[in-house]
Amino acid sequence: MNLSQNMQDYLKAILLIGRDGTASTSDIAARLEVSPASVTSMIKKLDELKLVKHESYRGVTLTHAGRKIALEILRHHRLIETYLSEALGYGWDQVHEEAERLEHHISEEFEDRISKILGDPQYDPHGDPIPSKDGRIPPTTSERLADAEREESVIVRRVSSHDNTMLRLLTHHGIGIGSTLRIVSRNEDVRSITVRHQRKIIDLSIDICSHIFVDRYVGTTRQ
């Protein structure tokens, strides 16, 4: 099926923001930074192509065909991000925009070669899962740093924001995927969390912490 880049972007957006598989018109508009009227028009076209189903007051869901396309575009995007990071030395704050431009244009052969060169990775530089060739999505944690308790130790597994300022701040503090953090204190009055990382004490806002997903650390920390 020959779809425009715009159509592909809509399918990917619905996949990423769908709650229980369903995305609202307002959420799609916010993610793609377009008007609700534009979303309504595009959803009608995708519905006619049998790529989505739209029910009034219930939202939009992907059909089997629509989900397959969305997963393929998402796989392209995250493989490109990983290639840019690991092979070309891009920072994790630089890869998203480049991948957005390239994801629609690579062939299946190019996708396969990138994946093989990288060792068939399961996660991109932000810790987001890379869909497999057959559409399976590796597991990810849903535990947020924002919900961690004092004295807990956690391992950073995923950062869900493409806010480059936030990513650069984390890089400045030496925090990345795989970093171990110990919660020193929760500062509810100023909405921040103080963590220890590699002997450094760092204050992070609750907003930033809500975009950082972690596993509870089991073992003895050395910080």
Q: SS3 letters for the chain?
A: CCCCHHHHHHHHHHHHHCECCEECHHHHHHHHCCCHHHHHHHHHHHHHCCCEEEECCCEEEECHHHHHHHHHHHHHHHHHHHHHHHCCCCCCCCHHHHHHHHCCCCCHHHHHHHHHHHCCCCECCCCCECCCCCCCCCCCCCCEHHHCCCCCEEEEEEECCCCHHHHHHHHHCCCCCCCEEEEEEEECCCCEEEEEECCEEEEEEHHHHCCEEEEECCCCCCC
> pLDDT tens for residues 33-72?
999 999 999 999 999 999 999 988 789 999 999 999 999 9
Judge if pTM exceeds 0.85. Answer: yes
Grade residue 220 by pLDDT with cuts at 50, 70 and 90: low
Find the mean pLDDT for residues 13-26.
89
pLDDT recorded at residue 223:
47
> pLDDT tens for residues 76-110?
999 999 999 999 999 999 999 999 999 999 999 99
pLDDT recorded at residue 58:
83
Q: Domains for the chain: give ranges and CATH numbers.
A: 5-62 (1.10.10.10), 145-216 (2.30.30.90)
Grade residue 1 by pLDDT with cuts at 50, 70 and 90: confident
Find the mean pLDDT for residues 158-169.
93
pLDDT recorded at residue 30:
95
> pLDDT tens for residues 127-154?
999 999 999 999 999 999 999 999 999 9
Residue 222, pLDDT > 80, answer: no
